[in-house]
Structure 1
Amino acid sequence: MIRQLRENEALPLDLLLLADPSEKLVKEYVSRGKCFIMELDEAMIGTYVLIPTRPETVEIVNVAVSEDHHGKGYGKCLVLHAIETAKKQGYKTIEIGTGNSGVVQLALYQKCGFRMTSIDRDFFIRHYDEPIFENGIQVIDMVRLSLDL
């Protein structure tokens, strides 16, 4: 089951930090958007955050699934739920970004219909104090993707 996080519920920081190592940035963008959670047997196992960015445009800024639930299709369920949520809310475009080293994420987003639109060069150098490595590659650039709804 996927649902919006209730106001009285604690932010699932442990999950959000799997996709973004900066607690400061996570808290900042969650405050501007809506956090959704995926539950399995009453445990939070996944999350995503939607934030409006421009008129008729919304962005998925964090998609995370607990590590012991990887490879089971939950990430795809979260992304598809985000797309449907954006459609129901009247958005015309949904965007998402991932690091240049996120080969699994890039494949997932394209399977869900997203197309690459741009590269934000040095994004992770500008916004993070410590270097980030994924798949043995330093995460430097943000690959931006979008989907017309």
Structure 2
Amino acid sequence: MDIRKLEKGEKLPMELLLLADPSKEIVEEYVNRGECFVTESEQQIVGVYVLLPTRPETVELVNVAVVEEHHGRGLGKQLVMDAIQVAKTKGFKTIEIGTGNSSIGQLALYQKCGFRIIGVDRDFFIKHYPEEIIENGIQCRDMVRLSQDL
């Protein structure tokens, strides 16, 4: 599948972005500061990721989402690997990603793609999200931070 940068003026795939991050305000804020990439199937956006420069030579992959009907087909891994390649091409030296302590599948995927756990931001989701987040029967409290040298 081809992955492309969303052009200025194109409608954001907000429903899809909200699958990975339930706060519309937070999503809008980082999408405005970063770059959004999408992949399509039959002229419908089925996958998305956002790259956000955070520090000199460092970029964060802040949102990765795939529509449910396309789960289990390797599309999430393709998106993550594409983000890594784009970051390298743009000259970044480090790519980071954060996910919830309850995001078991995502933690496995990111490690399979070469990311390593570098820390935990305790109570991140309690402090920054007004609604309780439950995933895989676990309360999402902490942000697990991962990183990869490029």
Which one-letter code corresponds to 2:20 in the other structure? A
Q: Does 1:120 align with 2:121?
A: yes
The superposition leaves residues 23-57 of structure 1 with CA deviations (integer Å, 9 ceiling, x where unpaired) of 01000110110000011121100000000000000
**Secondary structure, aligned partner of 1:126:** helix
Over the aligned positions, Cα root-mean-square deviation in angstroms equals 0.5
**Secondary structure, aligned partner of 2:73:** coil
The superposition leaves residues 52-97 of structure 1 with CA deviations (integer Å, 9 ceiling, x where unpaired) of 0000000000000001111110000000000000000000000001
Q: What is the TM-score when the length of structure 1 is the normalising length?
A: 0.99
Partner Cα separation in structure 2 for residue 77 and residue 43 of structure 1: 17
Ranges of 4+ aligned residues in structure 1 off by more than 6 Å:
none
Q: Does 1:16 align with 2:23?
A: no
The aligned counterpart of 1:105 is: 106
The superposition leaves residues 89-133 of structure 1 with CA deviations (integer Å, 9 ceiling, x where unpaired) of 000000001000111000000000000000000000010001000
The aligned counterpart of 2:85 is: 84
**Secondary structure, aligned partner of 1:146:** strand
Identity %: 66
Q: Does 1:51 align with 2:72?
A: no
Gaps of 5+ in 2: none
Which one-letter code corresponds to 2:97 in the other structure? I
Partner Cα separation in structure 2 for residue 32 and residue 144 of structure 1: 20
Which one-letter code corresponds to 2:39 in the other structure? M
Gaps of 5+ in 1: none
Aligned residues: 149
Partner Cα separation in structure 2 for residue 129 and residue 122 of structure 1: 12
